[in-house]
Amino acid sequence: MNDKSVFSSLDSMNRRIFIKTAAAAAFATAAFPRTGLAEAPRKGGALRLGLNGGSSADTLDPTQLIGTFSINVSRQVYNTLVEIGDDGKPASELAASWEASDGNKRWILNLRPGVQFHNGKVFDAEDVKYSLGLHIGDKTKSKAKGLVADIAKVRAASPTQVEILLKSPNPDMDYVLSDLHFAMVPAGFTDWLKPVGTGPFKLTAFQPGVHATATRNESYWRSDRGHVDTVETVVINDATARVTALQGGSVHIINGIDYKIAPLLKKDPRAYLVVTEGKQHFSLPMDATKEPFNNPDVVLALKYALDREQMVKLLMAGYGRVGNDHPIAASDPSFNPNIAQRAYDPDKARFHLKKAGKSDLALELHAAPVAFEQAVNTAELFAQSAKPAGITISVKREPDDGYWSDVWLKKPWVASFWAGRPSASMMFSSVYASGAPWNETHWKNDNFDRKLTESRSFADPAKTPRGLFRAAADDP
């Protein structure tokens, strides 16, 4: 589904690969007050953000980043080697340029000279080696280790040049290096309560799940970013409270707008609603190692018992699209428009339930608004649509705080969302590969892992990770 944010104007293989009952594909929206909008940015002023996704478990350790609040703050403080440009393609950030050779197994990165960390240290190749090394090796607990598991060696060829050697080809390595987890920090740095980066703002305070403050980095290497003097980021997990804070002027930007409220904000002369279509998607992942989700017919029964059209119509107010049990957005080159949409069909659901040896089924689905704004309502609508198929779903509403640490990846069936990844290869490596720390369905398939690796070596673009999986979800 697509994400929504609101800004106020500033004061100055097999379907079981995807054991995720994806409800819809989403749009990103944002709102801000209309007064004070300028054609060009002006220096100065204070920016206040009211964001969801905050938790007492928040950290700015790049290896453990999760949740909107900590991710947003991390992007204020850190830079990555590569960023994704407005055209959706890799663009230079701390790496000024790069080139691949040896069939995409050897990557040379030429670093941007003269960049300084917040503590005055000059950014160099040793910092890159250390920062990437935080995610590499058997001992790392990085959430992004699956993306760089194929790195054999990172070598500082000179202070401004880095060589990355891969065990197997990866034409998407520039996309991989744009991942927010691969933030650059000084070599040897470990104080994540007081992080040091090269980003546009210097962190002055950070309280997990509560707030963060940062001031402008006067030595920032970019002139087109970091215009305000200070940024205050406040956690407001409740959707109604966020809108109230925006309309009352206590914050300038909010995210996670309730889809039903978005049309009203669009008409509000005090706010400006920005809507963009992205790769974010909402899902209800099931643990494929636990009964009854280890039975593919049970999973199919649940997929047919889900009325996606009703959910989009009732819960998303036109700001979303129906999903189809895979994580690839229509805007991705790998998307296959010829895959037949799976529709709501209680009879087919009953058929697969019977095939699984069951006449009825009782399940518990865990959800919280922090997963996505309509997560609880989605679960409740699912419970209604599943009844005609003989499936009883009990919705367990969980608290927002601690959801990602205590419920997600812990309970057998939960609500989840993904912001999407720049390439299909990254999406599969992050969530679906056997060794992925965020493999939320705990699904493992050696054939899938092998094809994911092999696909990166194909010269034919249609067979690369950007094209290989176009029909992955079409195999029943």
**Averaged pLDDT for residues 436-449:** 89
Q: Is the pLDDT of residue 216 over 90?
A: yes
- How confident is the model over 128-180, as pLDDT tens digits? 999 999 999 989 999 999 899 999 999 999 999 999 999 989 998 999 999 99
Considering the domain boundaries, does residue 457 fall inside one? no
For position 171, which CATH number holds? 3.90.76.10
Considering the domain boundaries, does residue 151 fall inside one? yes
Considering the domain boundaries, does residue 285 fall inside one? no
Residue scoring higher pLDDT (264 or 201): 201
Q: Is the pLDDT of residue 28 over 80?
A: no
**Averaged pLDDT for residues 68-86:** 95
Q: Is the pLDDT of residue 21 over 60?
A: no
The whole-number pLDDT of residue 463 equals 46
Number of structural domains in the chain: 1
Task: Provide the CB-side half-sphere exposure for 190 (13 A, CA).
Answer: 3
Considering the domain boundaries, does residue 441 fall inside one? no
Domain with 140 in it: 82-176
- How confident is the model over 294-351, as pLDDT tens digits? 999 999 999 999 999 999 989 888 788 898 998 888 877 778 888 899 999 999 999 9
**Averaged pLDDT for residues 281-293:** 95
User: For 201, which DSSP code?
Assistant: E
Considering the domain boundaries, does residue 467 fall inside one? no
- 270 burial (CB, 10 Å; 0-12 / 13-18 / 19+) is middle
**Averaged pLDDT for residues 447-471:** 60
Considering the domain boundaries, does residue 461 fall inside one? no
- How confident is the model over 367-426, as pLDDT tens digits? 999 898 899 999 999 999 999 999 999 999 999 988 998 999 999 999 998 887 777 888
Whether the Cβ atoms of residue 73 and residue 206 lie closer than 8 Å to each other: yes
CA distance 34 to 269: 7
Whether the Cβ atoms of residue 62 and residue 78 lie closer than 8 Å to each other: yes
Considering the domain boundaries, does residue 199 fall inside one? no
Nearest CA to 56 out of 259, 207, 268 is that of 207
Task: Give the pTM.
Answer: 0.75
Considering the domain boundaries, does residue 289 fall inside one? no
pLDDT-derived band of residue 476, with 50, 70 and 90 as boundaries?
very low
